[in-house]
Amino acid sequence: MAIKSNNIFFQYEETPILENVSFVIAPGEFVGVFGPNGGGKTTLLKLLLGFLKPQRGSIEILGTSPKNAREKIGYVPQISHLDRQFPITVLEVVMMGCLDKSPWHSYTKDAKEKARAALQEVGMLDFQDYSFGTLSGGQTQRVLIARALVSKPSILLLDEPTASVDASAEESIYKLLERLKGTMTIIMVTHDLQVMLQKVDRFVCVHRDVVSYSQAEVCDHFAQGLYHPPLKRN
């Protein structure tokens, strides 16, 4: 299994966010994650990344703990979490994907080549010397995807990569993800259920617990924030 969550419970101070969450994600699966705001999507991502520890239960990523599996995970954060005024070039951002723990580390020629190859993969090589803050929303997302891909991860986690980007940028991100589909496990938080319907293998809804839905079980009500268990269809 790529990811196995066993009965996890997590709360911030006295407020439970996730309760009795169990699910399994197979290697190479493309899973869309949706749910109401405050339902626990971001908390679940942080648990998978090992930034938070569940108070009860356990998570296994590629057969080990999330903290030990970090090197095999690529993460694409929401662009609103980054400082667009920070003086940094596109190439430098992508090279951050090659950082290692050793205290004397600085970027090698090899890291630069890997970063350029990742930028080429997302169609952003011509922008390598641009200031990160001058990019459009869609370009920024593609650069962050390149940063996540540069270390050749087995699992790619994306937190709403199409939020605040225009339609053509959204399309280019989807095309990129379709190319990556099957080569790694992809878990993507999204509110765009209708668009994602034909692209993902299945969905999971995070709303204190986690419920899995096949494509056929995704209901029009969800887009309006009305979540319910899968309906049995004739």
Q: Which residues of the chain form contacts with other proteins (CB under 8 A)?
A: 49, 51, 70-71, 73, 75, 77, 81-83, 85-89, 92-93, 96-97, 99-101, 103-107, 130-131, 134, 147
Nearer to other proteins, 106 or 224 (CB): 106
- The nearest distance, CB 198 to other proteins, in angstroms, is 30
Cβ neighbours, 10 Å, residue 191: 18
- The nearest distance, CB 100 to other proteins, in angstroms, is 7
Would strands 3-12 and 56-61 be described as parallel, antiparallel, or unpaired? antiparallel
- The nearest distance, CB 56 to other proteins, in angstroms, is 22
CA 234, CA 230: separation in Å to the nearest integer? 13
CA 107, CA 110: separation in Å to the nearest integer? 8
Would strands 15-25 and 3-12 be described as parallel, antiparallel, or unpaired? antiparallel
Residue 103: strand, helix, or coil: coil
Please report where in the chains the tokens 């079980």 appear, as a residue. 217
Nearer to other proteins, 69 or 218 (CB): 69
The residues, any chain, with a CB within 8 Å of residue 172's CB and separated by 6 or more, are 123, 138, 142
- The nearest distance, CB 48 to other proteins, in angstroms, is 11
Nearer to other proteins, 107 or 227 (CB): 107
Nearer to other proteins, 6 or 131 (CB): 131
